[in-house]
Structure 1
Amino acid sequence: MHYSVSAVLLFLLLAGEGAALAQSPESSVGLSVRRIELVSDDAQPSVEVAVSPGLSTVFLFDSEVSREGLILEGRERFAMVDAGLNTLRLVPSEKISAGERLKLTVRFLDGAAPASSTFVLVSHPARSEALVEVYRRRRGVETYQEEARQARIEAERCREENERLRAERSAPDGLTGLISTAVLSKRGVGFRDLTEGVTPAPGGAAVKQYVYAYRATRRVAVEVTFMSRGDAQPWTAVGAMLRGKANDELKVLQVWQSGPVAPGSGVQRVVVEAEAAFESPQGSFTLKLWDADGRRTVTLGNVTFP
């Protein structure tokens, strides 16, 4: 099934109307380096750390930790728990539920205060903190310089993102806007029907009906129509991830949904638009959608682009 270019353009125009749910872009696979400084008294609050199924989170300590004193709640939900003298690598498995909170307690060997520290691992369907540096002693000036450098990089990224958003907002609506922002090239928009080829994960928050993929200049989009599974609670996607087999991700620009997926609501459309660093992303991707609290997700595998 192939639509004409005019039909695809109509889709792009319609996708800009209605109830739009914009997703703030996040970093690729993991967040930037997290640095945590522990205090010497017992008032140290538990620090939350984001983890995600299949993605590594590595703790790096400036003091040696006790392997025997490691306490991990729900250890059976992790595919890997690799503890060293100064490191701890965690890889959650698919058994961990989105939004689940598990306590991690580590104990230090040198007898100095604090003798232990507790972290709360918060499961996210697609995002994790890749590296967490934990300090009990005074940090060196080099770590502060590196932190300042990363802050400057993040500030520059935010500045560029704001400029892009301003440019797109000031552009005309409709077809003229697609041309003026160079989203539409002379070759038009590529289209592919993925309905039969995608592989939905069991137990998703909604049932997919149709799946279409689009490609324009430096942009790709996936359109999915959903029906309710009969749950009493409506479902609305607020975030999305498009990840390749090598854990490479496309930068998601926005998530749009025509309305909540709920009993009696009929079919609803979800459109995920992403930025492609190269003209035609190669290979298959996994599309994951989640709601506001991250607990109810939809996962579709084998998503390819024309």
Structure 2
Amino acid sequence: MSSPSFVVFLGLLLTSGASVAQPEASAPGARRIELTPDDVLSAPEIAISAGLSTILVFDSDLTRDAVELEGRDRFDLVDVGQTTLRLVPSSRVTAGEKFQLVMRFRDGAVPASTSLLLRVHPAKAEPLIEVYRGKRTIETYQQEARDLRAELMRCQGEIARLVDDQDTPGGLAGLVSSRALDEHGVTGRVVTKDVTQAAGNALEAISVKSYRSMKGVAVEINLTVKAGAPAWVAKGATLRGKAGAELKVLRLWQQGPIPMGEFGRVVVEADAPTAAAQGVFSLKLWEADGPRVITLGNVTFP
């Protein structure tokens, strides 16, 4: 079936709600990797992170005692099931590091094995990967189409928010017009003494302040680069609660590159209604294409 014909066929299935007997549905939000017998492309890359779980689900039985994982002793958990593999890297991995993973299949069909590249991210891991060796079911394509539609709607919402931001006045008037303020205004708190800093931090937090409005939270950090290190620019950030849930980071602002021996200001803003901002959070900041990370624990909001 040609590609355009397949797209039309898939569209008919999605709109008609046709029911097709399939062995297994694809999990919503899962990343999908398809293997082919003549695949000569480089090994697919998967993001992993220290202390976070990544689960790979295969559509074929694995040869459980033939798994090859580079640097296996630097993983807290390598759990091989009949068709699954769960990985949890230890705190000894560093951002940017890569580990090769080779999986072999029991049935002898081609491809008989697959090679994947695990790349360490400072704070984010892909939680669920589905690996397909053969033809995928219509149901998995339907799920992928639903995921793409959800992502499109998310992007449309983000575009609408950005357009609204352009039409909103700046300063205090902008906060009032966007309904981010009530009669109590924005509340702030100095949390420098409460915050814990990881021993391996590339930078030192000199002061930490937290803020809360009706719609969101922000953390303001004054940082200094340790002696002998090059200038540092924040690329990404996460705010994760005790239960592992992440707040949606809306903005990451930095005054400018922070040279060695000087101070620089970084502000992280996240979407969080009052109820979601309760409790203790961990803040991670990382640079682009570099291993230097700063982790601040015990961050609280007013």
The TM-score, its normalising length taken from structure 2, stands at 0.88
2:288 to 292, 295, 300: 292
- 8 Å contact kept, 2:287–2:293: yes
Match of 2:224 in 1: 227
Structure 2 distance, partners of 1:277, 1:174, is 21
- Secondary structure in 1 matching 2:234: coil
Q: CA deviation at 1:294?
A: 4.6
Amino acid at match of 1:263: M
CA gap 1:164/1:42 in 2 versus in 1, 3 angstroms: closer
SS at match of 1:162: helix
Matches within 5 A, 1:250-265: 250-264=247-261
Residue 101 (structure 1) aligns with? 98
Taking the aligned partners of 2:229 and 2:86, their CA distance within structure 1 comes to: 39
Alignment of 1:173-188 (within 5 A): 173-188=170-185
Which structure 2 residues correspond to residues 235-254 of structure 1 after superposition, within 5 A? 235-254=232-251
Once residues 131 and 41 of structure 2 are traced to their aligned partners in structure 1, the CA distance between those partners, rounded to angstroms, is: 13
Residue pairs, 1:71-220, within 5 angstroms:
71-220=68-217
Structure 1: distance between partners of 2:256 and 2:97: 27
CA distance in 2, matches of 1:136, 1:246: 35
Deviation of the 1:207 alpha carbon: 1.1
Tell me the percent identity.
51
1:40 aligns with 2:56: no
Q: Runs in 1 of length 4+ with deviation above 6 angstroms?
A: none
Stretch deviating more after TM superposition (38-47 or 266-275)? 38-47
TM-score normalised by the chain length of structure 1: 0.87
**2 CA distance for matches of 1:185 and 1:168?**
19
Residue in structure 2 matching 1:65, options 62, 65, 75: 62
Quote the Cα distance in structure 2 between the aligned partners of 1:277 and 1:54: 27
Provide structure 2 residue ranges, at least 5 long, that are not aligned to the other structure: 1-27
What amino acid maps onto 2:264 in structure 1?
Answer: Q
Can you give the 5+ residue segments of structure 1 that lack an aligned partner in the other structure? 1-30
Taking the aligned partners of 1:148 and 1:177, their CA distance within structure 2 comes to: 37
Matched pairs, number: 275
The 3-state SS of whatever aligns with 1:128 is coil
Shift of 1:163: 0.5
Paired residue type of 1:234: A
2:207 and 2:222 map into 1 onto residues whose CA distance is: 5
For the aligned residue pairs, the C-alpha RMSD in angstroms reads 1.4
Matches of 2:273 and 2:76, distance apart in 1: 32
Which AA in structure 1 matches 2:294? V
Mapped contact 2:203–2:225 kept (Cα < 8 A): yes
